[in-house]
Every structure is written in C-alpha cells, then in structure tokens.
Amino acid sequence: MLPPRPQNRSDFPFYAGMPVSLSGRQWLVVLAGVVLAFYLLTAPWTHPLSPWGRWLPALLFCTVPLVALSLVAGRHWTAPFHRLTGRDALLMFGIAVLNMVVTLPLGALVNGLHHGSVNPLFQSMGQADATTRWMTFAAMVPQLLGEELLTILPFLALLWCLATRLKLQRRTSVVLAWILSAIPFALVHLPTYQWDLMQCLLTIGSARLVLSLAYIFSRNLWVSTGAHVINDWTLFGAGLWMASLAD
C-alpha cells in the first residue's frame, strides 16, 4: 500500500466534500467492493492448503475494497489513512485495552447464560506447529485491516446518507452510523460462532462499537486497525499460552 498523503483530520472524508464528495452510485460501488471482498475471504477456492494459505484471502479482503474506493475517489482513496502520531499510538493501545475490559466480562456473561461458542481458530492454532502459528498471526494484520474496511467504509456511507440525504445533524448522523455499521460486522461472524445470534450481536457487536471509536476519535484507519490487531493478538496469544499451561 502506498503511504498516505497528508490529509485534514478535522472531519470524516467523502460525506461533506473533503477531500471530495461521493454520490450514491459511487457509494454503491464501494459497498459492492466490500461485499465482494468478504465473499473472497470466505470462498473455499481462495484458501490454498499451504502455510501461506491464509495470506491470499486476507490480502484480497483488504485490497478489493480499496480498489473499489480508488475507482470512485481517484487519488483521494487514501483519505481514511494518516501518518501515525504519538497520540495515535496511545489511542490505539487504549482502545485495545478498553475493548478487552468491556468485552471479556460480557463474553463470560453470555457464555454463562447462553453457552456461547469458541472461535474455531483457537483450536486450529492450538494444534498447529510453530511456523503455522507465526504465519497465522502475521496474516491477521491484512485480514484485520479488511475487517476495519468492512465496518468503516459502510460507516462513511451511512454518514453520507444520514447527513447529506436525510439532513440529520452531524452528531446524530455519526452516532447512528457508528451503531448501524456495527450490525453487519456482528452478523458476518455468525458462521464462526455456530449461528449464535445473541453471542454475535452482544459480544462481537460490542467489540465492534469499541473498536470503531478508534477511527471516530482519530479519523485514521491505521489506528482502528492497530487497536484491532493488538486486541486479537493479545486474546489469541493469551489463549495459546493458557492452553500450553494446561497440557
């Protein structure tokens, strides 16, 4: 990916003319790219049986939406990205910690009441060799960037619709877009968690709301991606460590 151009962070991009405005048809192109990217992530033929097998779907997952965005925004496709600052790094770690503080007790509550499912990746990584584990952790980076695009691009599209078309106040539009964009993210996790709607909406949805705050506060997709990576690396790493102690 090319380094991001310096951009004005005073507002969110694309919904109010900064750096350009996108039309309804252009947002449909972007959202179609997001849907296609998710299909490519889950399609069996994108998962070759090799230690590198996770890289192809992960790279397609994050690349396809950015290609769609570049088709409609031109050179301004980098607008959601900014160079990281010290404040960004602090926010990145702070949001990751906040996410674990919020979602771990909530997940325990849901599991206790509803017998929630465990992410099958925990089991597969527990049975994998060291090389495969390192490959999996590394491939999480492009995949989690893709998960951020899966949420933040619809967030920006919703913000455009609510503020520009429905003429709602900016703060109201941001809050509604923040909440609504978390719902598809929760629902796409249904196959991972045995189609447990309560677990996905409460646990995954809550995690998504916290992680989206990283972008809302920073206007920088690198920050929300970094928070997501720190969160998942910590959870999966801790899970593997605890499993090793139990052996």
- Cβ(33)–Cβ(73) below 8 Å: no
Whole-number Å distance between alpha carbons of 22 and 71? 11
Mean pLDDT of 139-149: 96
The 10s digit of each residue's pLDDT in 168-223 is 999 999 999 999 999 999 999 999 888 989 889 999 999 999 999 999 999 999 99
Give me the residue label for tokens 């969160």.
Answer: 231
Helix, strand, coil shares of the chain, percent, nearest 5, are 75, 0, 25
The whole-number average pLDDT for the span 43-69 is: 88
Q: Confirm if 153 and 26 have CB atoms less than 8 A apart.
A: no
H-run or E-run covering 189: none
227, 214 Cβ separation under 8 angstroms: yes
Which CA distances in Å does 80 have to 9, 88, 154? 9, 14, 13
For the question of whether the overall pTM of this predicted structure is more than 0.85, the answer is yes
Q: How far apart are CA 114 and CA 188, in angstroms?
A: 19
Amino acid identity of residue 16, one-letter, is A
Q: How confident is the model at residue 124 (pLDDT cuts 50, 70, 90)?
A: confident
Query: Quick one: DSSP state of residue 241?
Result: H
CA pair distance 213, 45, nearest whole angstrom: 34
Q: Which pLDDT value is given to residue 45?
A: 84
pLDDT of residue 217: 96
Tens digit of each residue's pLDDT (9 = 90 or more) over 17-48: 889 999 999 999 999 999 999 999 999 888 87
Question: Which DSSP category does 245 fall into?
Answer: H
Residues 96 and 213: their CA atoms lie apart, in Å, by: 10
Structure tokens at 77: 């496709």
Residue located via tokens 């999480």? 140
Of 47-51, 138-142, 231-235, where does mean pLDDT reach its minimum?
A: 47-51
* Exposure letters 93-103 (e unless 16+ CB within 10 A, then b): eebbebbbeeb
What are the counts of helices (DSSP H) followed by strands (DSSP E) for the chain? 9, 0
Residues 37, 146: Cα–Cα separation, whole Å: 8
Question: What pLDDT score was predicted for residue 238?
Answer: 85
Closest of 192, 187, 156 to residue 173, by C-alpha? 156
Q: Domains of the chain: which residue ranges?
A: 85-246
